[in-house]
Amino acid sequence: MRVLEPATSLHVSLLLDIRGFPFGAYQGELLELTLSAIASIGVYLQSQAAPIAFLANTDPPTVIPPGASVPHLQQVLESLARLRPSSGPALVPWALDQLPRGNSVVLAASDVSPDLGLTIARLEEAGFHVLLLQATTGRTSLIRAGTIKLEAGCDLAARLEGTG
């Protein structure tokens, strides 16, 4: 009996633009909410045996190449737990040189991240499918399909499941 393998598999890069998080409401609850969302997505993807990479434009930049093992996930989670909002380079062009080709990108950013719309456009022009996790105080936000808004006090699990 012949068993066919799927022609494609899910490969995801978790990308954090830290530049909008070093101040005010963004540094506290919204940063923690964003890091929890990234961790939750990473745990889910690892349970599906999907390779994940994690990149953040911290100072110095954080780059964890793709992997699908439990120790790899542990490395990503530990990196998220130690992360401090000290911003490094702009995401573009830096991330374009770091992201594995063919990956989908989960971009986590605040609604005050510099050049957020341009960053998404450049990632999409480079061939990446982008899902935006947008931390927002509700005053401003980028309106686009494929956006999950993260607001203080929101039910994170419901937001990530698309029910809240």
pLDDT classification of 146: cutoffs 50, 70, 90: confident
| Banded model confidence at residue 104, pLDDT cuts 50, 70, 90 | very high
pLDDT at 140: 65
With a cut of 80, say whether residue 24 has pLDDT above it: no
Of 113, 118, 112, which is closest to residue 92 (Cα–Cα)? 118
Instruction: Look at residue 61 in the predicted model and tell me its pLDDT.
Output: 93
The structure tokens listed for 124 are 């999409």
Q: Which tokens belong to 134?
A: 């947008």
**26, 28, 52, 112 from 23: Cα distances, Å:** 6, 8, 29, 11
pLDDT at 102 over 80: yes
How do strand 104-110 and strand 62-67 relate by DSSP bridges?
A: unpaired
Q: 122-160 burial, b if ≥16 CB within 10 A, otherwise e? A: bbeeeebebebbbbbeeeebeeeeebbebeeeeeeeebb
| 105 in Cβ contact with 123 (< 8 Å) | yes
Q: What is the pLDDT of residue 4?
A: 45
pLDDT at 7 over 80: no
Cβ neighbours of 75 (radius 10 Å): 14
- Exposed, middle or buried, 6 (CB in 10 Å: 0-12/13-18/19+)? exposed
What's the farthest any 2 CA atoms get from each other in the chain? Answer: 61
Mean residue pLDDT of the chain comes to: 89
Query: What are 26-73's pLDDT values in tens digits?
Result: 778 899 999 999 999 999 999 999 999 999 999 999 999 999 999 999
Q: What is the pLDDT of residue 142?
A: 67
